[in-house]
């Protein structure tokens, strides 16, 4: 039987400096990328889904606006967009770090396809993730904002995304770093 994929979360407190707004840890990302590359080379059957948190990028903006608890006002929506932008900026840094060592990561933005209801995921596009895995790519997702049917908007953590995807992709292992 085919092995299920391995889900790996790179926590926001690992890959960013939480004390300083929008500060990533590039050397650590380089090391992580290299270690994951070595692991894949030693076991070519392995299939990975990577996720990462937001640390001092999205969390700073999110706590400024209280985004997780709902979005209703124009100021709240402005914050929603800012949280999304901050999360995407870190995602670019992470994706580039992995590309730099030759790992074929494909960044998929959760807010482009997710819909939540009272903070719980109702839908999230899984087909692009499945196609990426079949193609030998490494789908890369991240904690992000999402529209919410009851609350207007909210935030989905990497764990929220993993829990939802676990029922669809049946991972063998989930590693939280
Ligand atoms: C948080 O995601 C997402 C945003 C604040 C946009 P996570 O919950 O996965 O991030 P960390 O690991 O706590 O930083």
Pocket of ligand 1 (CB under 6 A): 11-12, 53-55, 58-59, 62, 83, 87, 143-144, 155, 157-158
Q: Which of 12, 91, 110 to mutate to test the pocket of ligand 1 (most atoms within 8 A of CB)?
A: 12
Q: Does the pLDDT of residue 2 top 90, yes or no? A: no
156: confidence class by pLDDT, cuts 50, 70, 90: very high
Q: Which of 7, 69, 158, 159 to mutate to test the pocket of ligand 1 (most atoms within 8 A of CB)?
A: 158
List pLDDT tens digits, range 90-120. Answer: 999 999 999 999 999 999 999 999 999 999 9
Q: Which atom of ligand 1 is nearest to the CA of 67?
A: 5
Q: Does the pLDDT of residue 79 top 90, yes or no? A: yes
List pLDDT tens digits, range 8-64. Answer: 999 999 999 989 999 999 999 999 999 999 999 999 899 999 999 999 999 999 999
1: confidence class by pLDDT, cuts 50, 70, 90: low
pTM of the model: 0.97
The pLDDT value given to residue 152: 98
Q: Which atom of ligand 1 is nearest to the CA of 160?
A: 9
List pLDDT tens digits, range 117-145. Answer: 999 999 999 999 999 999 999 999 999 99
Please tell me the distance between residue 1's alpha carbon and the centre of ligand 1 in angstroms: 34
* Average of per-residue pLDDT across 140-153: 98
3-state SS, one letter per residue, for the chain: CCCCCEEEEECHHHHECCCCCCCECHHHHHHHHHHHHHHHHHCCCCCEEEEECCHHHHHHHHHHHCHHHCCCCHHHHHHHHHHHHHHHHHHHHHHHHHHHCCCCEEECCHHHCCEEECCEEEECCCHHHHHHHHCCCEEEEECEEEEECCCEEEEECHHHHHHHHHHHHCCCEEEEC
């Amino acid at each position: 039987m085919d092995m299920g994929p391995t889900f790996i979360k790179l926590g926001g407190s690992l890959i960013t400096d939480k004390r300083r707004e929008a500060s990533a840890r590039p050397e650590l990302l380089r090391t992580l990328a290299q270690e994951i590359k070595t692991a894949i080379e030693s076991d070519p059957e392995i299939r990975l889904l990577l996720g990462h948190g937001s640390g001092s990028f999205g969390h700073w903006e999110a706590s400024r606006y209280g985004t997780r608890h709902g979005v209703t006002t124009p100021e709240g929506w402005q914050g929603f967009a800012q949280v999304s932008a901050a999360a995407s900026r870190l995602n670019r840094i992470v994706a580039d770090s992995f590309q730099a060592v030759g790992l074929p990561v494909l960044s998929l933005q959760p807010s482009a396809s997710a819909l939540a209801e009272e903070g719980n995921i109702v839908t999230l596009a899984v087909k692009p993730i499945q196609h990426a895995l079949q193609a030998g790519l490494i789908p890369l997702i991240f904690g992000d904002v999402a529209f919410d049917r009851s609350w207007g908007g909210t935030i989905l953590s990497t764990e929220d995304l993993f829990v939802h995807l676990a029922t669809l992709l049946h991972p063998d292992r989930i590693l939280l770093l």
